[in-house]
Amino acid sequence: IVEEYILLSVLLHVFVGLKRTWDMKLALVKTQGVNALNLAGTGLMLLTFMTIHLFQFRFGDTEQFGPYLIRPPPYLINFWGIPSLNLFWTDETSVAPVGVRDIYALEFQ
C-alpha cells in the first residue's frame, strides 16, 4: 500500500508542475524564449529516467541469478559495521538469512 501512496504523490507532483508550467511559463516564452521552459524539460527527462529505472528495479527478473540471502541486523542497521560500511547485514549466525533481490546482478551481469 506504500507504493500506491508514493505513486499518487509523484503523480500529484508531476501534474501540479505541468499545470504551473502551463499557466505561468508558457506566457514567458513569448518574451524570454524557450529558456523559460528549461525546468519543465529537465523535469520530464528526470521523470522518464526514474520511471525506466524504477520499473527495471521493481519488476526485473532477478530470479535468474538464484537466491541471494543476507542476515539482517536486529535493528535493521548494523551499528558495528559502520567503519567497514556493512550497514544492512550482519555475519552473526544466530540471525536467520532472508532472501532479497540482487539488483547489482540485474544491472551488471
- Convert the pLDDT of each residue in 67-88 to its tens digit: 889 899 988 898 988 899 888 8
- Predicted local distance difference test score (pLDDT) of residue 71: 92
Residue 57, beta-bridge partner list: none
- Predicted local distance difference test score (pLDDT) of residue 60: 80
Whether 49 has a pLDDT exceeding 90, the answer reads: yes
- Predicted local distance difference test score (pLDDT) of residue 103: 82
